[in-house]
Amino acid sequence: MVLAEDTTKSASVTPSLTSSSGLRGKLNKVVLAYSGGLDTSVIVPWLRENYGCEVICFTADVGQGNGETDGLEAKAKASGASQLFIKDLKEEFVRDFVFPCLRAGAVYERKYLLGTSMARPVIAKAMVDVAKEVGADAVSHGCTGKGNDQVRFELTFFALDPKLIVVAPWREWDIRGREDAVEYAKKHHVPVPVSKKSIYSRDRNLWHISHEGDILENPENEPKKDIYVMTEDPEEAPDTPEYLEIGIEAGIPVSYNGKRLSPANLLAALNEVGGRHGIGRIDMVENRLVGMKSRGVYETPGGTILTTAVRELESLTLDRETMQLKDTLAIKYAELVYAGRWFDPLRESLDAFMEKVSATTTGSVILKLFKGSVNVTSRKSPFSLYREDISSFEEGSGIYNQADAAGFIRLYGLPMRVRAMQQHNL
């Protein structure tokens, strides 16, 4: 949907569109992050009832899947919203958020490839744009008070427009769970897509899908086979392996089997092939930003392929000291993204480092996909630091003299030798 021309108003100015305030005060216009699901559907009438405001819904297309935005406008208006903005953010999401994290090697707590963490700031950024467009004085989201997403949304709001008021209904209302929300929706005649029997909480975008809730809340329970959406069961995946080639330039993937594709199209294509071979399933217990542990199951087929390819190419193009420092900083980078600090100067500074050290990470990697596994079979780069004539047992370059190793070992091991001499009174 094309946004209207800019009519930004200061958040300190709240001209009344209605004559009365709500139960909790008065706001003018509120832009709500809207999915059409249970939580955000009941938030629309709750905002109108409690703040006497006009509610403008905003939906971001970050690759949730085909048909996810169908019928949303009618549903939003049926819930009481004045209008719905839908914006296609898939290319921006992958190009400006996913690929920088991929280049950085950012992985949270050894496993999580940050799918939801990367999507929230691009959505919140677009919400700020819409708020300026319609002259809203507030923004709202459907994140619970127990999760990470409330932080990710609100830190982005703070960074990009500190004047905006943030309304987080889950931290204010009397609804204490999904069953209460279903009852509220029925009471206010709000159309919602779930019933009390809905079990899993899911978040999907072009990079991944996450699953939480129900039996997953007990970390002793194995996920049921029917939980998975993007990937085939590895046991039922094709019996024949599939090989593919990923082209990379300066740490950023650019092609698949020799064909250059846009970031979003490249990722979508790899999701399809990776999903077919059962690639990218993880089951983990993670430490949430708010202090508690949570258990989630994630599917990241295309992302797992790309992460493997970029890391493998770095084995050719980065020297030991650079790789070790990059890996160390990648942990901090991942923590910042997970914590919603995308627009923090520290994250931006780390990204500048990652861009610089990845300047020569250019080349291609061939991968073998087979029943849930991704194995590297070939890698090459015009900037490769690997020299066969030096590394070979048949070394004949004259650059490396094996006799030099004796002096190197004596000097390198000198601290250990001196300590041993001290301990033995030598």
Q: Is 397 a catalytic residue?
A: no
Distance CA 289, CA 158 (A): 18
Fill in the amino acid letter for 332.
K
Task: For residue 367, give both structure tokens.
Answer: 């991968």
From the list 35, 201, 294, 381, the catalytic residue is 201
Distance CA 315, CA 384 (A): 9
Q: Is 96 a catalytic residue?
A: no
Best CA proximity match to 125, nearest among 150, 153, 144: 153
User: For residue 83, with 0-12 CB atoms within 10 Å meaning exposed, 13-18 middle and 19 or more buried, which class applies?
Assistant: middle
From the list 35, 79, 117, 120, the catalytic residue is 120
Task: For residue 54, give both structure tokens.
Answer: 């006009």
Best CA proximity match to 34, nearest among 61, 4, 52, 53: 61
Instruction: List the strands of the sheet with 252-256, edge to edge.
Output: 259-260, 252-256, 242-249, 363-370, 373-380
| Residue pointed to by tokens 């047992």 | 393
119 half-sphere exposure, CB direction, 13 A CA radius: 24
Q: Is 39 a catalytic residue?
A: yes
Q: Is 198 a catalytic residue?
A: no
Residues written for the chain = 426
From the list 137, 149, 161, 203, the catalytic residue is 149
**Catalytic residue list:** 39, 120, 149, 201
